[in-house]
A = this chain, B = another copy of it.
């Protein structure tokens, strides 16, 4: 799934289209850059710390990202 880091992109191939959101702790979104011409989304699994590439073109992944960010973060009440 992930390259050994020497290559320019972190992910090999498109990545997973679907993943259970409850399994991962953090998601990294790496915009296109001079070192990698693909947007890359990497989820880190809570239990194992394993990193899994997600497919940025997957409707499901896009929907999940929006859902996570939109979840009433109730921080608006926090100063």
Q: Interface on A for B, CB 8 Å cutoff?
A: 13-14, 21, 24-33, 37-39, 41, 55-57, 61-62, 65-66, 68-71, 73-76, 78-79
| Complex copy number for this chain | 2
State in angstroms the CA–CA spacing of A75 and B24 once bound together: 23
State in angstroms the CA–CA spacing of A79 and B13 once bound together: 6
| A21 contact set on B, CB distance < 8 A | 31
Assess the B79–A29 pair: CB atoms within 8 A: no
Known contacts A39-B75, A57-B73; can you find 20 more A-B pairs with CB under 8 A?
A: A13-B79, A14-B78, A25-B30, A25-B33, A26-B29, A26-B30, A27-B28, A28-B28, A28-B29, A29-B69, A31-B68, A31-B71, A32-B71, A38-B74, A39-B68, A39-B73, A55-B75, A56-B69, A61-B69, A62-B69
